[in-house]
Structures are given as C-alpha cells and as structure tokens.
Structure 1
Amino acid sequence: MWSAHHRKAAILGWLVFVVLATVIGGAVGTVTASDEEMGVGDSGRAAEILKDAGIDEPAAELVMVGARTADGWRDAAADLSKALDATGEVRGLKAPLPSEDGKDALLRFAIKGPSDEAGDRVQPVLDAVDKARQDGAGRGISVHQFGDASSEKELSDLLADDLKKAEFTAVPLALGILLIAFGAVVAALLPVGLALTACVAAFGLLSLASHQLHLFETTYSVMFLMGLAVGVDYCLFYLRRERDERAAGRDAETALRIAAATSGRAVLVSGLTVMVAMAGMFLSGLLLFKGFAVATILVVCVAMLGSVTVLPALLAGLGDRIDAGRIPFLNRRAKKGVHASGGLAGKVLRPVLARPKFFAVGAAVLLLSLAAPALGMKTEQLGLEKQFGSDAPLSVAYQKITDEFPGGPAPARVVVKADDIGARPVRDALDSLTRKAGDGAELTVHKASGVAEIAVPLPGTGTDAEAKKALHQLRDDTVPAAFEGMDVEAYVGGDLASSEDFGDQLGRGIVPVFAFITAVTFLLMLFCFRSVVIAVTSIALNLLSVGAAYGVMTAVFQHGWGAELIGSEKVGAIENWMPLFVLVVLFGLSMDYHVFVVSRIRESRDRGMDNRAAIREGITRTAGAVTGAAVIMVAVFAVFGTLSMQDMQQMGVGLGVAVLLDATVVRMLLLPSLMTLLGERNWHTPRYLRWLPKISHEEAEPTARPYAHNSPVPSGR
C-alpha cells in the first residue's frame, strides 16, 4: 500500500523506468543469434568448425527456369544469367544444370557479402528474377527461386508484418473486451495501458539482455503475446476485486487495502510461479528456449511489479473516476452489486456441487478425449516452405525445384577438419566420398584453414523419410567408413541434420524441464496453501489442460482437421519446439486462474465456511475476473493463430484452446467437483509440514455476509 500513499512517486517512478528502459534498449540495439549459435549436436559442431576457421557459408540461391519443350529454357536462362551478373550482388554463378527430361534447368549462385547480410542485399536479384518471370510468361517460360537469402528476406518481412498485425489487432480486441467487462472507458484503458507500458519496458530490457544471450527472431513476438495477456490479466484481477469491494459499500481506501491484501498477493504468487516455471526452459540446453525464458521472465516480472505498484497508485488517485466514461447498457454490473458477475457461475455450480462425481468423471473424459490425438504427435523443424504455407511463392518454388532436382535446396554438408587437409589419404577419402554422394555433390577444400566441405544432395524432398534414412546412413556408415583410421574430425550438417539434432536435444531436455516445473509448481502451491492435496491437484489439472492442447494441435495441424477454418492447412507435423514451449507456458499461465480461484476459496474457508460453501463462494466471486481474463487471453492467442507463420499459428491455437478449457471445463467443472469430493482433505496439513508459515488468504473484514451452506447463489437478476 506504499504506492497508494505515495501516488506521485509511484507513477513518476514507473514512467521514468519505462522511458529509460526503452531509450537504453533502443540505443544498444538487439543482437540476434547466428545459425552457428543455434546449432546443437554434430550439425552444431560442423557449423562451429566453419566459424572457427573463418569460413562464412555463402547464402546460396537456386533459380529454376522451365519450358514446355526440352531445351526451350536456354535463351531465357542465358538472359537471366546476364541480368543476375548485372545486379552486382551475385557471385559463383554456375552454368545451367539440366533436369532429366531436359525441360528445366537450375541456375546456382551465391549472394555477395557476409551471409548474415544476404537478406538485405538480395532485392536486386529478386527484381531480376521477377522481370524474367514476367517476360517469359507469354512464351511458356516459368521461373522459380528459392534460397537462403530470398527465404531470409521473406521470413523477416513476414515476422515484421505479423508483429505489426498482432499489435494493431490484439490491443483493440483486448480493449473492447474490457469495455464490455467494466462498462467504463477509464477502467478499460487502465489494464491495457499498463500492459503496453510493461511490454515496451520489457522490450528495452530484452535488447540489453540480448548482448549476453543472443535471441531468435520470434522472441519478441512471444514476449508481446505473453506480456499483453499476463499484463492485462494481473490488472484485471486487482481492479475487479477493488470494484467488487466498492460495490459492496466499502470506502475507496478500504477497498484498495482489501484488493492489495488478497488479489495483490495472488498476483505476486502467480507471477513468481510463472517466472520460476519459465526458468525451467534454461534446462533444455537450447539457445532458442533460453531466449524465450529470458523474454517471458522479464515481461511477466515487469507486468507483475506494475500491477502491485503503479496500479494501486493510479486507483488511489482516480478514486470514483475509475468509472468515468460509462457506456450505456454496459455499466449495469456496478449497479447490481458484487455478486452480479457470479450469476451464471452460480447456476453452473449448482448441479456440479450436487453431483460432483458425475461432473468430475465427465470433465476428465472430455479432456482426455481431446488429448487422444496427441498420442500420434509427430514433431519436426518445419522448413520455410511449410512455415509460409503451400500457396506462398517460395513454397511453390521449393516444391518445384525439389521435384526436378531432389535434395537441391537443402543438401547435407559433410565438414571435415584435419591438420593436413591436403595429405594424400585425406584427399583420396574426400574424392571417394564425393563420388559416392552421386550427381550434384560438390567438394570445396579450404587448404589454409585445414577444412573441407562436401555438399551431398539428399533423395526425396530433402526432408521426408527417404531423406532422413539417407542422412542417418551418411552419418552412421558412409562418413565414418570413409575416414576410418585417420586423425580427422568429420561431422554431417545441413538443414535436415540440424533439425534432427535439435529434435534429439529437445527429447533429452524435456525430462529435466518437466521435472523442474512440476517440482516448482508443487513446492509453491504447498508453501502458499500448506496442502499436499492442493499441490498435487494443481499439477494434475495442468497436465490435463496441456494434454488437451496437444491433442487439438495435432488434430488441426498434423491431420488437418478443421485447419481451413482458421486459414491454415495440414503440414503433417508439429513444430519441434512447440510441445515443450506450450507445456512450460501453460504450466505458468494456468497458475493465474488457479492461484486466484483457490486463494478466494481458501479466503472463504478461513472465514469459517465449510468446504462446499467455500467452493461456491470462491468460484462465484472470481467468475467475472476469471472469465474476463480468459476471454482476453484467448482473444490475444487467437490473433496469433491467424498470422502467416505456421509456428505462430500453432502457438496461438495451442495456447488459446488450453486457456479456454482451463478457464471453463477445468475451473468451472473439474476443480469444484474434485474439491467437493476431496472434502476437508483439501485443507489438511500433514504434521511433518506444519512448520510451514501460514499465509493468510483473507482480509480482516469480510466483503459481504457469507453464504449459508444451503443458501442459493445469487443470479444477479
């Protein structure tokens, strides 16, 4: 309550903090992770050898020129080759490579300059290819381009457009939902404003952190997603309780004190739980997840601190003006009193509390049924052709090139390091391996660095089962046999190898991450409620929500069931980092609702109610806040589900479905029925744990007369 009595200091301090974080972050800039840093396993070691040797893998590009008849492409290919040379951005342009039927030819070249700048330099090349495509269209000539630089530029442009779309869609959407929830402009603007300033400050802090821990391109999108959802939710919990107390007849200071002692404490516990859960991603051993962990911890921490510092100061300063800008027909709740929002919840709870066994089994069966498709979940590092969608020009180009020149866009790369790379036995082995790799294999020797590379085309699409089988044979048999008995380092890298190694590391990392977040959740719930039963049920309910989210993601994106309804399509797999990310995020986010609801139930229990009455009281009192928070989270996640990138779609749908189920099926059906069946065991503290400090979940003065055990729940009419 310090901030409520020192309003100017709290508000000014918050504004100074946001401005400083933004200015400093903008001044130092953001450092993104290189491909070498993102690598793990043998592919990571291959990339590290090239980096240490100062060998910058050029940004390779492929352009396929096709015609209706054999050799009909020659004039167009010659003209395009001249146009590419004229751009001044191309090096190493090779003679056209004909396809088997002679109707297509492949132009191979690289973009000049460092590979990490290729996306910024490729535009003249794209313009030249586009002009060739337009000129040849009337003569039956087709032109398709795919490569590192063109796909990198497309990815960067899409990410920028998607983030802008998310910002300009999610914020008004959240504001509209809050206007309906509160019926007043000022009350609706407050959570959105605080969430946005928290995101802005966290962006600046993340830019600073990126100089120590380099980031992946999508990290800022993830931060904005989490920051807006959590920031609005925390403010909503706090503001809703303050308004409930005011509606119950409390004066402004008392209402604020009660909100700080109850919802404020719940926000702190929830925020700390989310942050500690996110820290589990550090155990994955992957730079991608370490970046996600830093981003989410920063934005949740800033949002949490804002909710318990500047928010009380603003509420104290605004007083009754929090209801300024009342909207007709939407402000009726304030006139009806504290229980108006719990009317629907009361109606739902009556049969649930009357037949808890039936509803517990029914809710569990529903969630397990939704989770069933996850048993067949397949994961892979989705290539850019799948990320963009099958109709995107780059995806079409990738497919066309792969059909005519298998393995061309994504060959495996054998990297060999030796003290004397030119020694006869080593050179013979390199030449022999290149011949065995077949047509299209290319050997490059960097004699001064003692390193050699062999580009090995993979069969099939370069990413399918046939390609994976060839990769494993290359790694397990061909390469070891070629250099047997020699003092060399030989590793297989490339896009497919990186994907396989990333997946293997994820498989090893998920066990310690899962163990960490379940242990942390258990300990925090145990400390907060002094109940083993509450701690165990928290984990069980979270796992059911996560399982249901996995099942829906698998059904929609792997099998394509209903994918067209959200503008997506079947891609045959889930992005390989998505299951672990969804697990950690949902374990953290579900604590928002769980801590808030169970704290209110415990508050009623501490005031002397029996278990069933406390459940009824706690859930009806929190129904409005939980529903509003869930609707906002689902809306924000749904926006991400409509973005262009496949991984953003999967993340939006997975998190949105999980939060929706968590706030409805879990919190309104499964939690009350389960707690009713468990009875007083919910609150039993074993003798060996009675040394734990007892945290009060109630305010000295009750907010309203407790319900009698058999009192009807007010309907709000």
Structure 2
Amino acid sequence: MSRGSVTVRVARWSATHPWRAIGLWLLLVVVAVGMSVAIPKQQTESKDNWVGQSGQAAELIEKAGLGDRPTETVLLTDPDGPLDKAAASTAIAQLQQKLKALDSIQAVGQPVWSENGKAALVPMELKGSPDDASDNIEEIVATTAEVQKANPDLSIAQAGSASVDAGIWKQVGSDLAKAEKLSLPITFALMLLAFGALIAAGIPVLLAFSAVGAALGFYAPLSYLFPDGGSVANVVLLIGMAVGVDYSLFYLKREREERRKGRTTLDAVEIAAATSGHSVVVSGLAVIVSMAGLYVSQDATFTSMATATIVVVAVAVLGSLTVLPALLAKLGHRVDRPRVPLLWRLNRRIGPGGISRRILAPVLRYPRAALVISAAAVVALAVPALGMKTEPADLNTLPQSIPEVRTFKELQANFPSQGGLSYDVVAQGGGAVAALTGLQESAVQTGKFVVPPGEAIRQADGTAVLTLVSVLPESSANGEAALSQLRTELAPAALGSVTWAVGGESAESVDYGNNQRDRLPYVIAFVLALTLVMMAVTFRSLAIALVTTVLNLASVAACFGVLALVFQHTWAEGLLGFTSAGFVVSWIPLFLFVILVGLSMDYHVFVLGRIREGVAEGLTPREAVRKGITESAGVVTSAAAVMVSVFAVFATLGMLEMKQMGVGLAVAVLIDATLVRIVMLPSIMVLLGRKAWWPNKLSARPTPEVRDREVVAV
C-alpha cells in the first residue's frame, strides 16, 4: 500500500496530534453513552414479525378489532399432593381482590378447577395491547408473589405471554452480565500472553470495550428505524469484543515489529497504517458487507442485529485508525511496559510464528497431500450438516430455570385447553360464522383439538375468528403437524369458498421459521457475491476471490456439521449444560453464516496481505507463503484465541440459542484459524503459484533487500 493512502494520512495526523485524537475519541464515546441514557431504545412490536398466512390472519383480526386482549393465568397447586380446595379458595379470593385493584387489569375471571383435582387456575384479562402488557407485567407478577407469601402451603405462580417474555428478558440480562464478567478478564489474559506487557495487553481490550459502549449508544436513535428484536446487546458485545480486539491487535503487532527493526515510532505507525491499517479497513468492510446480507431476510430481528453490528464494526475500525496510532505515538517504547518477566521471555524465545513454522514446513513440502488430508477432515466435519434439522424455538428450548417456563409447562399438563398450541382461524365474508362452526365440530371430533372456555367464535364486520388449541404437548414438531392438519385438511373441507387464514401464536412461530429457511439461499447468494467482488477488487485477482469463497464455505459447512452433532443429540448435554431439543433453532444457521463469512475474512485478509507483500518483493510463491504465514501466525493465533474465548463464553449461557451461537462461532473460528488458514490456504497458494494473483502481474524479480538476504543465506 502507498505511504500516502488515507489510512496513513489519518494515522500520521493522529500520531502527530495525539492529545487531539485521544480527546476526540473520548468525546465520541461520552456522547454515544449519553445518547444511550437520554434516548430510550425501541423494541420490536408483534406486527413487525408477521409473515406468511399467519401474518395475513393477524392483519385481518386487527382490522376487524377482534384481537384478544392480553391474558395471564395464575396457577395454584399443592406441592405435597392433591390440591386442598378450601385453602385454594381462600388464596383465590385474595388474588381476585388484589388483582382487581390494579389499574392494568381489565377483568379477573372465575377459578377453573382441573379434572385431576391437582390444580386450579385464575384467568385475568389485561388492558391495552400485548405491548402494553409487557410494560405492566412486573406489577402483576409482584401481586401474585404477595399472595404466594401469604399462603406458603400452596404453590402460586403466574404464566402467560407477557410474564414468560419478562422471564426470558431477565435470563438474557443475567446471561449478558455473565458474558461481560467473563469475556473481559479472559480477553485481557490472552492479550497478556500475546504481548507479555500490561499496557500493550490493555490497549486492545480498552478500545474494544469503548467501541461496544459507543456502538450501543449510537444504536439508540437508530432503533427508531430498526427496533431491537431482543438480541442487540448480546450481539454487539459478542462481535464488538472480537473485532475490536483483533483490529487493535493487527495494528499493534505490526507497529512493534517495525520498531524492532529499528524504525522510529512515527515511521512504525505509518508502516502499520499502510499495511495492517489497510487490512483492518478491508476486514471491517467485509464484516459490514456480510452483515448487510441480513437485510435481505426482511426480518425485523435480523435487521436490528445487522444495524447494530455494522455500527460496532465501523466504530472499531475508526478507533484502530485514529486513537490507536495516537496512543502508540504518545507511549512509544513505553507500550511494552511494565513487562511480565516470564511471559516476556517466553514470547522472545518462541519468536514470531514459532509453532506455525513447525506445522507449515510439511505443508509447504507436500502441498498436495496436505490439501487432500485437510479437505477430507473438513468434509468429515461437514457431513452431519446434511442431516441438520432446523425448527423455531419453543417452550422446550427455553431454560427450565426460568420460573415462568416451569409454570407454563405445569399449566399445560393440568389444563390442555389453556396453555397449549393455540391457533386462530379467521374467516371473512357471508357464511363465515356457519363455516367456522362446522370447522369447530370437525376439529374437536378428531380428538386433536379443543376449544378454550369462553366465547368460541368472535365476529365483527363480516369477519369471524375461531380459536382452537391442540391437545398435543408443545413442541415445534407438534406445532407444525397441527398447523398442517388445519391448513391442508380441516379448514379447506369446512370453509370451502370462504376467504380464510390460519394464524395465532403457534402458526406465527412455524411461519417465521419457514420464512427464514426460504430466505437463506438469497442471503447466501448476496453475501458470497459481494464478498467475492470485494476480494477481487482488493487483491485484483479472480483466483484469490474464488479461493476465499471456497474456504469460507468450507468453514461454514464444518460449523454446521458440528452444530448438528452437538445439539441434535444428547452426548454433549452434560458437558454444555443443556437439554437437547433435537434440532438447531431456525434463525441460527442464517445468522452464523453471515457472521462467519465476515469474521473469517478478518484474518484471511491480513494473511493474504502479508503473502502478497512477499510476492511483490520478488520471493518465490513458496517462500512468500512461508514468510506471510510465519509473520502473521502470531497475530492470527492471538486473534483467533480471543474470538474463540469470547464465543465460548456464550456457550456457557443459559439460553439455548445463545449456546448454539457460541458453540457454532467458537468451533468455526477454531477450524478456520488452524485447519483452513494454516494448512488449506498455504497448500492452495503454493500449488497455484503466481497464477493465484492472475490477472494482476506482480514482479517476479527480487528486490535489492531480497537479493541481499539471499546472498547472506548463501
């Protein structure tokens, strides 16, 4: 890269005006954090996720004003045996009195006793919309808890959409706090191993953490355009810490390398900006391009993830190009202080690429054999992906440690018609009510559906709605089977020519998962096409672009194979602390694909850049690969170790989706940084030789520096 490039000019200004650059960065972070405090973050609404036939049904219900008010249920049981009806009646009277006094409660129903005599429930109707219910649910749950304290011999717990969502959010908050507590010290420890000095280890962690805080602040106003689907904070922490540390690591390692060669601090910063700074920009753009593929899915949750990730990557790139050169210029040689004696000596003794040199030697000597063996290993890991099952998350994928989840399952066990898989069949036009009445009879006669208590069919302005509940236990497979029976058999036979649609929460879950699967090919095509063009432009080589695409697909395939092996079976349950649902949650593969393509480009660009430097100097392809891999190995290993450790933290969290995401990312980065980048990539580059850079013509003549090294070697 030219020493007059934008990255060099920015770095030079920051290095010659360090206090201004540092002050501007601190101002940026403070303003961003202030925005997150002053501007309330917007959350997605239920209508944002309407898709397919269930979305049509929800829209018809909303237009007719037939939507159910949000409801909650209080379940009473006796942990020691059959329910004492007298004690339960006393507790129910207290519940009704206290709940009716709340402004957020529209009505409290009469108690319903289970046929098995083991439970009773008290239904309640909340005011407003489901979104309003989530704002008031804490007060209602607290009221139920008060009655529980007054009746210690009974088990009194609440369940419903709003309370379960509140329990999930509480678990997510707990998981996020745990991830923060673990990821920061682990990352710092890895940086300490990489640098052997406290200041050098602290700078990447500090910049990454400040980038995460700033990104969350900048996302707050953007959430009015791209509302948070519930995972933004997790994803920003996950990706922000990974790329923020990596970008600083790339830059800092190159600057230290140039200083060791005798360069001045300013010259070292400029060279780092021209090389690693350029790689950081390309890597950041690659992640941004990959994440932009989530916009193709046209999903509110994915759109919020994409927006937040793009922001945190952009902030991390900006920090590595501005405040990092300023800090390095101000600190100079003091960046390597205070040294940790044992780690410092160990780093010096191992030298750059110490371990990788030993692995790389046989790869360069026998490239064909290395490629065949490594490709076979990747294929073996990827084969289970052919049998990977993807289904929407359901009650069984939620941590059973969430009290509301346990209550909901107990409610289903005692009252099948109350908490099971619910479907709303909407009919519009003349004869809608009569047609739905016939559907009700035929559905109940199958023995697979029941009608919940209350008004069976609601109607208004020519639109009627029938609610049916499946008697099958709640699961994704049962939900899809019940929905299929309604849509393909029962509804067409009973409703005839009447306009109809089957919706409801259970149908929305199935349609959402199917929509994600249908969108996946478009997302893959978008991401692969743009990254291929980007690599071709960056390295001016079609061969490099194609090799990059193939290697990215290899890493993703191996990741999917491991996911299927781990989460569709039970052998890893004790190891990772989860109960296998027998499938991978449907949004995970699509999300992992775009993340992995972006992150794999992170150090792929850095490694190829070092190889290209060697080729441009006139080294033979084999020597250029040896030089590029060896000189970048320490950075790649450290970067991969940071990513794997941060992602592995998420594998320890309670939410199954976060666990699957953490395992998938950690395994993929580990495979990508070792098997793919140290074995497959070098062997391919050696076999291609100078053809790898076609049609770009790099000089085949060695530079004076290379000739001098060759003379010394002789």
Establish whether TM, by shorter chain, passes 0.5. yes
Q: 1:221 aligned to 234, 259, 269, which one?
A: 234
C-alpha change, 1:505 and 1:707, in structure 2 (3 Å) is farther
Q: 1:530 aligned to 540, 543, 555, which one?
A: 540
Other-structure match for 1:460: 472
Distance 2:248 2:348 in 1: 22
Distance 1:122 1:76 in 2: 26
Asked if the contact 2:145/2:157 (under 8 Å) is kept, the reply is no
2:124 corresponds to 1:109: yes
C-alpha change, 1:582 and 1:291, in structure 2 (3 Å) is same
C-alpha change, 1:355 and 1:642, in structure 2 (3 Å) is same
Deviation string, structure 1 residues 440-463 (Cα, Å, up to 9, x no partner): 335466656665432211131133
Distance 1:218 1:407 in 2: 32
Distance 1:706 1:412 in 2: 78
Asked if the contact 1:33/1:214 (under 8 Å) is kept, the reply is yes
C-alpha change, 1:234 and 1:72, in structure 2 (3 Å) is closer
Distance 2:198 2:85 in 1: 66
Distance 1:709 1:583 in 2: 48
Q: 2:672 aligned to 647, 658, 662, which one?
A: 662
AA matched with 1:208: P
Q: Which structure 2 residues correspond to residues 584-603 of structure 1 after superposition, within 5 A?
A: 584-603=594-613
C-alpha change, 1:249 and 1:55, in structure 2 (3 Å) is farther
TM-score, normalisation: structure 2: 0.90
Q: 1:671 aligned to 681, 705, 709, which one?
A: 681
Indicate the SS of the match to 1:329: helix
Other-structure match for 1:433: 439
- CA shift, 1:301, in A, is 0.9
- CA shift, 1:373, in A, is 1.9
Asked if the contact 2:615/2:698 (under 8 Å) is kept, the reply is no
C-alpha change, 1:709 and 1:431, in structure 2 (3 Å) is farther
Q: 2:568 aligned to 550, 558, 576, which one?
A: 558
AA matched with 2:159: F
AA matched with 1:479: A
Distance 1:710 1:659 in 2: 39
Q: Which shifted more, 111-120 or 277-286?
A: 111-120
Q: Which structure 2 residues correspond to residues 496-645 of structure 1 after superposition, within 5 A?
A: 496-645=506-655
Distance 2:417 2:364 in 1: 61
Q: 1:165 aligned to 150, 155, 178, which one?
A: 178
Deviation string, structure 1 residues 148-176 (Cα, Å, up to 9, x no partner): 12211111211111112212221121111
Distance 1:376 1:228 in 2: 33
Deviation string, structure 1 residues 563-590 (Cα, Å, up to 9, x no partner): 3212223121111100000000000000
Distance 2:340 2:459 in 1: 75
C-alpha change, 1:151 and 1:251, in structure 2 (3 Å) is same
Indicate the SS of the match to 2:73: strand
Indicate the SS of the match to 2:618: coil
- CA shift, 1:415, in A, is 5.0
AA matched with 1:525: M
AA matched with 2:124: F
Q: Which shifted more, 209-218 or 318-327?
A: 318-327
Deviation string, structure 1 residues 613-657 (Cα, Å, up to 9, x no partner): 111100110111111111111111111111111111111111011
Deviation string, structure 1 residues 390-415 (Cα, Å, up to 9, x no partner): x5433433333333433632433325
Q: 2:255 aligned to 242, 248, 253, which one?
A: 242
Distance 2:170 2:712 in 1: 60
Q: 1:312 aligned to 306, 320, 325, which one?
A: 325
AA matched with 1:165: K
Distance 1:635 1:65 in 2: 44
2:7 corresponds to 1:3: no
Indicate the SS of the match to 1:521: helix
AA matched with 1:608: G
Distance 1:559 1:701 in 2: 59
Distance 1:352 1:159 in 2: 44
Deviation string, structure 1 residues 94-126 (Cα, Å, up to 9, x no partner): 444444544444443334454224344334554
C-alpha change, 1:269 and 1:75, in structure 2 (3 Å) is same
Distance 2:214 2:479 in 1: 45
Q: Note the residue ranges of structure 1 that are not aligned, 5 or more in a row.
A: 713-717
Q: 1:484 aligned to 490, 496, 499, which one?
A: 496
Distance 2:177 2:389 in 1: 31
Other-structure match for 1:118: 133
AA matched with 2:437: D
Q: Which shifted more, 227-236 or 504-513?
A: 504-513
Q: Aligned residue pairs: how many?
A: 692
C-alpha change, 1:464 and 1:198, in structure 2 (3 Å) is closer
AA matched with 1:370: L
Other-structure match for 1:474: 486
- CA shift, 1:56, in A, is 5.8
Q: 2:339 aligned to 298, 301, 326, which one?
A: 326
- CA shift, 1:709, in A, is 12
C-alpha change, 1:455 and 1:606, in structure 2 (3 Å) is same
Q: Which structure 2 residues correspond to residues 203-218 of structure 1 after superposition, within 5 A?
A: 203-218=216-231
Q: 2:383 aligned to 372, 375, 386, which one?
A: 372
C-alpha change, 1:382 and 1:109, in structure 2 (3 Å) is same
Deviation string, structure 1 residues 230-274 (Cα, Å, up to 9, x no partner): 011000001011011112222212211111111011111111111
Distance 1:122 1:619 in 2: 56
AA matched with 2:512: F
- CA shift, 1:52, in A, is 4.3
C-alpha change, 1:4 and 1:161, in structure 2 (3 Å) is same
- CA shift, 1:217, in A, is 0.9
- CA shift, 1:340, in A, is 0.7
Asked if the contact 1:67/1:104 (under 8 Å) is kept, the reply is yes
Asked if the contact 1:444/1:452 (under 8 Å) is kept, the reply is no
- CA shift, 1:418, in A, is 4.3
Other-structure match for 1:40: 51
Residue identity (%): 40
Distance 2:464 2:342 in 1: 74
AA matched with 1:567: G
AA matched with 2:490: T
Distance 2:707 2:187 in 1: 33
- CA shift, 1:472, in A, is 1.3
- CA shift, 1:144, in A, is 5.6
C-alpha change, 1:258 and 1:98, in structure 2 (3 Å) is same
Asked if the contact 2:395/2:475 (under 8 Å) is kept, the reply is no
C-alpha change, 1:304 and 1:433, in structure 2 (3 Å) is same
C-alpha change, 1:434 and 1:71, in structure 2 (3 Å) is farther
Asked if the contact 2:171/2:655 (under 8 Å) is kept, the reply is yes
Indicate the SS of the match to 1:569: coil
Q: 2:268 aligned to 255, 258, 271, which one?
A: 255
- CA shift, 1:523, in A, is 0.9
Q: Note the residue ranges of structure 2 that are not aligned, 5 or more in a row.
A: 1-11, 445-449
Distance 1:388 1:418 in 2: 40
C-alpha change, 1:667 and 1:436, in structure 2 (3 Å) is same
Distance 1:556 1:70 in 2: 38
AA matched with 1:599: G
AA matched with 2:612: R
TM-score, normalisation: structure 1: 0.89
Distance 1:53 1:96 in 2: 30
Distance 1:10 1:392 in 2: 47
Asked if the contact 2:148/2:156 (under 8 Å) is kept, the reply is yes
Distance 1:385 1:60 in 2: 21
- CA shift, 1:82, in A, is 1.7
Asked if the contact 2:427/2:465 (under 8 Å) is kept, the reply is no
Asked if the contact 2:396/2:581 (under 8 Å) is kept, the reply is no
2:357 corresponds to 1:342: no
Distance 2:362 2:554 in 1: 22
Q: Which shifted more, 253-262 or 468-477?
A: 468-477
